[in-house]
Chains A and B, each alone.
Chain A
Amino acid sequence: MSEPATAVDSLKTTPLHALHVELGAKMVPFAGYDMPVQYPAGVLAEHLQTREAAGLFDVSHMGQAWLEGPDHEAVAAALETLVPGDIRDLAPEAIRYTLLLNEKGGILDDLMVTRTAKDGVLFLVVNAACKDADFAHIEKHLPDGIRLKRIEDRALIALQGPKAAEVFARFAPEAAEQTFMTGREMDVAGIPCIVSRSGYTGEDGYEVSLPEQEAVTLTKKLLAEPEVEPIGLGARDSLRLEAGLCLYGHDIDETTTPVEGALTWTISKRRREEGNFPGAKIILDQIANGAARKRVGLLPEGKAPAREGTEITDASGRKIGVVTSGGYGPSVGGPIAMGYVETGSAKTGTGVELMVRGKGRPAKVAAMPFITKRFHKAGK
């Protein structure tokens, strides 16, 4: 059998590293960190645990930072020169998913931006692999009076799943009131945290930033609840794929624009009208006239998973695209994938072929998510 090679280098660790090892996790290098890919339960069980009850994830490798200025208007205006999302009209304690763009409209990273309750302070969370480049890029483009402060002393954990809210309320009753995509500072089991109702699984849940020295304490408390199990990066990937969410560096990167990446929804009407974000000319042209290719969901008709890099062809065998993420969806009970196809083949239901091990295998362009999302929306 062939096995993927693993490189052992001088890896960074998160504050929860010793706990992962104690819990029996299989550790792998990821974005420069030694991270748990799975615990003894295994990827399949961890995935289903998160969909059925609640899963706890260590995402402390991700980059956290404050963006500070004299007031919200000034900070928002500074960030809006780098992203196409609407930061100005973000309500206090609301979160925006947005994109750092280069001058060609390519995506440098995707990130979460929270307008904190304190005027002139935004809280940013970016991808681990991109964080150094992102922060350098942001700093380089900030006007006088606006500062980026990297946060190096906070951990980040996520509690996700249909039981997440019920469990979390035992430690932070206030969190139960939060709606999807809002974040606020509150005490959780007496620990000062930034609690965001958000996640990367398609389930309801929280992402919690907390002082690194408290990370083990809170994680152990959450894991002691009967509904909660630790979840590794393996299940994190299958969960986000089922939810149709992009993995930066795979489904989106510097060569893909928001329009090609099916992320046009992240650009508000005002931002389109103003057209003052990086790559606006290219992106607005693609919005008006269409892009040559588009990110779509793909549902193989057989059982064979189509992995990243799998060529997509039309019925005549002509190459029309490539799979960017693919595998087995445990909750779907079969293979699922996403990838880029020529826009003419991007309509849901279009039949395509996936070239797996030299054989064309039928698949259909499918709407994403592949599962029903269960977020906690306002008024619900």
Chain B
Amino acid sequence: MSDIRFTDQHEWVRVDGDIATIGISDYAQEQLGDVVFVELPEVGKELAAGDEAAVVESVKAASEVYSPVSGEVVDVNGDIEATPAGVNEDAMGDGWFIKLRLSNPGELDKLMDEAAYSEFVEGLQ
């Protein structure tokens, strides 16, 4: 089973072997509203934890998506570039943003698990 972790900036990261899939949480897509534009990094780019990985824009505003962990970008989701509304439809699944090859798996321990994130989001409402 893959393991999912969250940041307090509402990104999620799901790890399978040494590949981390990264996206924004369902709470985040709901807060953003209709996503109309997504800008993704180049494959091959090295990202450190906390680096700006992507940009997501709703009708209202632009927001940065930060990488929760360090690694090299090995894949990006072209589907959400073509159809940004896919982020609203399935933020936790098909609406993923990028895949990284993890360079420091220990960073995952600093992130929230699903229960902790749910509690964190509760506290925001």
Which residues of A, 276-305, contact B by the 8 Å Cβ criterion? 303-305
Separation of A1 and B57 alpha carbons in the complex (Å): 11
A43: contacting residue among B11, B39, B59, B65, CB under 8 A: B59
**Residues in B neighbouring A44, C-beta threshold 8 A:** 33-34, 36, 59
Binary A-proximity of B25-63 (CB < 8 A = 1, otherwise 0): 000100101101101000000000000000111111111
Q: Which of A130-138, A167-175, A315-323, A327-335 touches B?
A: A327-335
A313 at the interface (CB under 8 A from B): no
Contact (A328, B59) CB under 8 Å given A304-B37, A305-B36: yes
Separation of A206 and B56 alpha carbons in the complex (Å): 35
In the bound complex, do residue B61 and residue A4 qualify as a contact, i.e. CB atoms below 8 Å apart? yes
* Interface size grouping (class) on chain B: 20 to 34
Binary A-proximity of B1-42 (CB < 8 A = 1, otherwise 0): 000000001110000000000001000100101101101000
- Closest partner residue, chain A, to B34 (CB atom): A44
**Residues in A neighbouring B34, C-beta threshold 8 A:** 42-45
A38 at the interface (CB under 8 A from B): yes
- Least Cβ distance of A50 to chain B in Å? 13
In the bound complex, do residue A2 and residue B63 qualify as a contact, i.e. CB atoms below 8 Å apart? yes
Separation of A357 and B63 alpha carbons in the complex (Å): 12
Binary B-proximity of A39-55 (CB < 8 A = 1, otherwise 0): 00011110100000000
**Residues in A neighbouring B9, C-beta threshold 8 A:** 1-2
B57: contacting residue among A37, A42, A47, A328, CB under 8 A: A328
**Residues in B neighbouring A3, C-beta threshold 8 A:** 31, 63
**Residues in A neighbouring B62, C-beta threshold 8 A:** 305, 307
In the bound complex, do residue B60 and residue A1 qualify as a contact, i.e. CB atoms below 8 Å apart? no
- Least Cβ distance of B37 to chain A in Å? 6
- Least Cβ distance of B38 to chain A in Å? 9
**Residues in A neighbouring B96, C-beta threshold 8 A:** none
Binary B-proximity of A228-259 (CB < 8 A = 1, otherwise 0): 00000011001000000000000000000000
- Closest partner residue, chain B, to A4 (CB atom): B61
In the bound complex, do residue A43 and residue B28 qualify as a contact, i.e. CB atoms below 8 Å apart? no
In the bound complex, do residue B36 and residue A328 qualify as a contact, i.e. CB atoms below 8 Å apart? yes
In the bound complex, do residue B39 and residue A304 qualify as a contact, i.e. CB atoms below 8 Å apart? yes
B10: contacting residue among A1, A4, A42, CB under 8 A: A1
B64 at the interface (CB under 8 A from A): yes
Separation of A290 and B98 alpha carbons in the complex (Å): 50
* Interface size grouping (class) on chain A: 20 to 34
Residue of B9, B11, B37 ringed by the most chain A CB atoms within 10 A: B37
- Closest partner residue, chain B, to A359 (CB atom): B39
Separation of A235 and B36 alpha carbons in the complex (Å): 14
In the bound complex, do residue B59 and residue A1 qualify as a contact, i.e. CB atoms below 8 Å apart? no
Separation of A2 and B39 alpha carbons in the complex (Å): 15
Separation of A66 and B34 alpha carbons in the complex (Å): 41
**Residues in B neighbouring A357, C-beta threshold 8 A:** 39, 55
- Least Cβ distance of A375 to chain B in Å? 24
Residue of B11, B39, B65 ringed by the most chain A CB atoms within 10 A: B39
In the bound complex, do residue A1 and residue B58 qualify as a contact, i.e. CB atoms below 8 Å apart? no
A1: contacting residue among B11, B33, B37, B39, CB under 8 A: B11
B59: contacting residue among A2, A234, A304, CB under 8 A: A234
In the bound complex, do residue A1 and residue B36 qualify as a contact, i.e. CB atoms below 8 Å apart? no
In the bound complex, do residue A1 and residue B61 qualify as a contact, i.e. CB atoms below 8 Å apart? no
Which residues of A, 203-241, contact B by the 8 Å Cβ criterion? 234-235, 238
**Residues in B neighbouring A37, C-beta threshold 8 A:** 60
Contact (A234, B10) CB under 8 Å given A305-B36, A328-B36: no
- Least Cβ distance of A46 to chain B in Å? 9
Q: Could you name 21 residue pairs across A and B whose Cβ atoms are closer than 8 Å?
A: A1-B24, A1-B63, A1-B64, A1-B65, A2-B9, A3-B63, A38-B33, A43-B34, A43-B58, A44-B34, A44-B59, A47-B59, A234-B60, A235-B59, A304-B39, A305-B36, A305-B57, A305-B62, A327-B59, A327-B60, A335-B37
Besides A2-B64, A234-B60, 10 other CB < 8 A contacts? A1-B24, A1-B28, A1-B65, A2-B63, A42-B34, A304-B39, A328-B59, A330-B36, A330-B59, A335-B37
Chain A residues engaging chain B, CB cutoff 8 angstroms:
1-4, 37-38, 42-45, 47, 234-235, 238, 303-305, 307, 327-328, 330, 335, 357
Pick the 6 closest A-B CB pairs, nearest first. Answer: A44-B34, A328-B36, A43-B59, A1-B9, A2-B64, A1-B10
